[in-house]
Amino acid sequence: MGAHPQARRQVRQLHKAVPKAQHMVVGRELRRLREAQGLSQAEAASLLGVKNYTISRNETGGTPCKPEIVRKALKIYRATPEEEEHLLEVLENANRRRWWQGSEWRGVVKQKLLTLVTLEENAKLIRVYDRDRVPGLLQTAEYARAVIRLGMPGAPEEEIEKRVQFRLERQARFRGSGSAHYLCLLDEVSLIRGFGSKEDMRGQVSHLVELADDPRISLHIVELARLNLPIGFGQTMLFDFEEELLPTVLYEEGHESGLVCQEPDEVDQRCKSFDRLLKASLSKNRSKQRLIDMLAKLESKGSRK
Using one digit for the tens of pLDDT, what is the confidence trace for 123-141? 999 999 998 999 999 999 9
Give the C-alpha separation, 228 to 14, whole Å: 34
Mean pLDDT of 106-133: 86
Per-residue confidence (pLDDT) for residue 231, from 0 to 100: 86
User: Mean pLDDT, to the nearest integer, of 130-157?
Assistant: 94
Instruction: Provide φ and ψ at 4, rounded to 5°.
Output: -60, 140
Q: Which residue has the higher pLDDT, 34 or 243?
A: 34
Cβ atoms 143, 203 nearer than 8 A = yes
Cα–Cα distance between 114 and 176 in angstroms, integer?
A: 19
Signed CA dihedral, 123, 36, 266, 109: sign only: negative
Question: From CA 61, how far away is CA 17, in angstroms rounded?
Answer: 8
Question: In this structure, are residues 240 and 123 in contact, taking their beta carbons and an 8 Å threshold?
Answer: yes
- Is residue 37's pLDDT more than 90? yes
- Measure the CA dihedral 171/173/62/29, to 10°: 130
Neighbour count for residue 172 (Cβ, 10 Å): 10
Chain-centre distance for alpha carbon 204: 21
Assess whether pLDDT exceeds 70 at residue 18. Answer: no
Least confident stretch, 93-97, 168-172, 299-303? 299-303
Confidence bin at 9 (pLDDT 50/70/90): very low
Average pLDDT over residues 270-290: 96
Question: Which residue intervals of the chain are DSSP H helices?
Answer: 5-17, 21-36, 41-48, 52-60, 67-76, 81-94, 111-122, 141-151, 157-177, 188-193, 198-211, 264-280, 284-303
Residues 6+ apart with CB under 8 A from 273: 1, 230, 232, 233, 236
Residue 246 — φ and ψ, nearest 5°? -150, 155
Give whole-number Cα distances, 164 to 233, 246, 259, in Å: 28, 30, 22
Pairing mode, strands 217-222 and 181-187: parallel
List, edge to edge, every strand of the sheet that includes 236-240.
217-222, 181-187, 125-130, 236-240, 249-253, 258-261
Confidence at residue 3, expressed as pLDDT on a 0 to 100 scale: 40
At residue 104 the predicted structure's pLDDT band, cuts being 50, 70 and 90, is: confident
Taking residues 145-153, what's their average pLDDT? 93
Mean pLDDT score across all residues of the chain: 88
pTM: 0.84
Task: Answer whether 238's CB lies under 8 Å from 178's CB.
Answer: no
pLDDT for the residue 101: 81
DSSP state at residue 66? P
CB-CB contact of 251 with 116 (8 Å): yes
Spacing of C-alpha 140 from chain mean position: 19
Three-class SS state of 250: strand
Length of the chain (residues): 305
20 or 305, greater pLDDT: 20
